[in-house]
């Protein structure tokens, strides 16, 4: 794609990066076939190619974002299916990230939208606040249908419908979990922010499995949200503050006893942490440290694949594996989770249209609930068509989203692996 940025504009490193990305796009349109919003809405401006045109025009002309640009960028799930498909290597992720920051700086959203986004940014990344909010959600849930009838308040209705009836019991705090077999390594685990409130059993299963395999697992003190949620809302300074904080926490653990990896059990977080090196590349105090953290970050299935787990006899249970977008498109992890499940004795089935997003995408199912509902229905239909016994995935957002649309039990992949290799049977499978 030909661009016409001025030399003065290109002095801004963010603009210069976006200009390089734009120049790689050759308008081929391959991205439209795998873009969930284009497939759902059929509008060229709701495809990656259409959004690229909008972003190019906005940045080249140095103008503030307008309502049209915001509408179509907001509809982007950041699922990154387009980057998997693109034959030209267009780095759409960093381009749309820049566009969101530009929107946040130059566009004044309607009051209700601002308040809801401020609420999400102030609550979801903080477990104590999130847990308290779920308690209040019990009182508000009966009003969800009424709120969804008012366009400006529809996100609040969607939020109340997604909220579980009760927060899970909080798991233990920061601790070091010693290996239960001959020591094979030492890792830190990302506790996370929303996940330990919604389902602490995921990290509990991870710790049990790793320690049985001889891995010392550290849940560091002081760790916080990875920053993904606010990062995708264009609140870059807040996201970078989260990143810097965690870089400091994890590097202290590296200095204290060394780390083979930073284990992440939410693939949405994994995609962001693996990008810390890029996010902080312009910060002279953190660029090198962030790059080191990014190289240490590993999805739990990515790390388990290096441990040579034994093959087990068939479990008699068939799993529909839902590959989260942040896993398959963001981190390019596709075969490891399925191979681990097969080695553990599970039958594995791939749902049709596995490349399409389930509609979760961080806060997307709150802020863009209508499109999200359509994508969820399509995803659930394809999953249920597999006739599997259980669904496995690697992201808490997908678990929350899909579980509201089907009676099939859905678990994190590591919960099934923990059970297969000697852990307790997951509660959701007690009757199976």
Domain boundaries, the chain: 9-106, 111-162, 175-304, 311-429
Average pLDDT (286-311) is 96
Cβ pair 361, 79 in contact under 8 A: yes
| Fold observed for domain 311-429 | Rossmann fold (3.40.50)
Q: Give the strand order in the sheet containing 261-264.
A: 175-177, 215-219, 185-189, 261-264, 297-299
What's the pTM value of the predicted model, to 2 decimals?
0.93
In sign, the C-alpha dihedral spanning 90, 94, 97, 101 is negative
What Rg do the C-alpha atoms of the chain give, in angstroms?
A: 21
Q: Is the pLDDT of residue 241 over 70?
A: yes
Percentage of the chain lying above the pLDDT 70 cut: 99
- Phi, psi at residue 218, to the nearest 5°? -110, 125
Q: Write down the CATH superfamily of domain 9-106.
A: Alpha-helical ferredoxin (1.10.1060.10)
Confidence at residue 168, expressed as pLDDT on a 0 to 100 scale: 73
Confidence at residue 76, expressed as pLDDT on a 0 to 100 scale: 97
For residue 432, name the pLDDT band (cuts at 50, 70, 90).
low
- Helix ranges, 260-412 (H): 267-273, 276-279, 287-296, 300-304, 325, 336-343, 364-367, 369-384, 396-403
pLDDT tens readout for residues 309-340: 999 999 899 999 999 999 999 999 999 999 99
Q: Is the pLDDT of residue 72 over 90?
A: yes
Reading the block at residue 248, the tokens are: 């400091």
Nearest to 375 by CA among 390, 364, 389, 386: 364
Q: Is the pLDDT of residue 419 over 70?
A: yes
Nearest to 75 by CA among 112, 42, 108, 105: 42
- Residue corresponding to tokens 């320690």: 211
Asked if domains 9-106 and 175-304 share a fold, the reply is no
What would be the CATH architecture of the domain defined by 175-304?
3-Layer(aba) Sandwich (3.40)
Average pLDDT (335-358) is 97
Least confident of 11-15, 192-196, 361-365, 388-392: 192-196
Q: Is 150 helix (H, G, I), strand (E, B) or coil?
A: coil
Reading the block at residue 106, the tokens are: 């130059």
């Amino acid at each position: 794609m030909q661009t016409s940025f001025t030399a003065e504009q290109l002095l801004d490193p963010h603009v210069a990066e976006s200009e390089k990305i734009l120049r790689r796009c050759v308008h081929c349109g391959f991205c439209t076939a795998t873009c969930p919003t284009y497939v759902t809405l059929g509008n060229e401006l709701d495809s990656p190619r259409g959004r690229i045109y909008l972003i190019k025009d906005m940045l080249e002309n140095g103008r503030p974002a307008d309502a049209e640009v915001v509408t179509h960028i907001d509809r982007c799930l950041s699922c990154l299916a387009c980057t998997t498909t693109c034959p030209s290597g267009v780095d759409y992720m960093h381009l749309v990230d820049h566009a969101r920051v530009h929107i946040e700086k130059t566009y004044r959203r309607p009051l209700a939208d601002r308040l809801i986004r401020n609420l999400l940014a102030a609550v979801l990344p903080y477990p104590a606040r999130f847990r308290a909010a779920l308690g209040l959600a019990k009182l508000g849930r009966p009003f969800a249908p009424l709120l969804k009838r008012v366009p400006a308040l529809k996100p609040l209705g969607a939020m109340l419908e997604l909220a579980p009836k009760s927060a899970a019991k909080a798991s233990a705090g920061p601790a070091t979990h010693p290996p239960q077999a001959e020591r094979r390594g030492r890792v830190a685990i990302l506790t996370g922010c929303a996940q330990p409130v919604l389902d602490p059993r995921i990290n509990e299963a991870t710790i049990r499995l790793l320690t049985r395999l001889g891995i010392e697992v550290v849940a560091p003190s002081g760790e916080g949200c990875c920053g993904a949620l606010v990062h995708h809302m264009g609140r870059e300074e807040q996201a970078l503050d989260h990143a810097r904080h965690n870089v400091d926490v994890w590097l202290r653990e590296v200095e204290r006893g060394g780390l083979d990896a930073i284990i992440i059990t939410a693939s949405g977080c994994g995609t962001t942490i693996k990008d810390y090196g890029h996010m902080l590349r312009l910060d002279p105090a953190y660029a090198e440290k962030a790059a080191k953290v990014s190289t240490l970050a590993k999805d739990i299935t990515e790390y388990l694949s290096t441990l040579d787990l034994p093959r087990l006899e068939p479990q008699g249970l068939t799993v529909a594996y839902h590959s989260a977008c942040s896993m398959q498109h963001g981190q390019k992890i596709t075969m490891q989770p399925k191979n681990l499940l097969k080695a553990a004795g599970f039958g594995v089935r791939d749902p049709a249209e596995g490349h399409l997003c389930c509609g979760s995408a961080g806060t997307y199912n709150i802020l863009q609930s209508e499109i999200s509902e359509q994508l969820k229905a399509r995803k659930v239909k394809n999953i249920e068509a597999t006739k599997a016994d259980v669904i496995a995935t690697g992201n808490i957002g997908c678990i929350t989203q899909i579980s509201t649309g089907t009676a099939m039990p859905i678990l994190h992949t590591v919960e099934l692996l923990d059970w297969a290799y000697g852990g307790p049977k997951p509660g959701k499978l007690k009757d199976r």
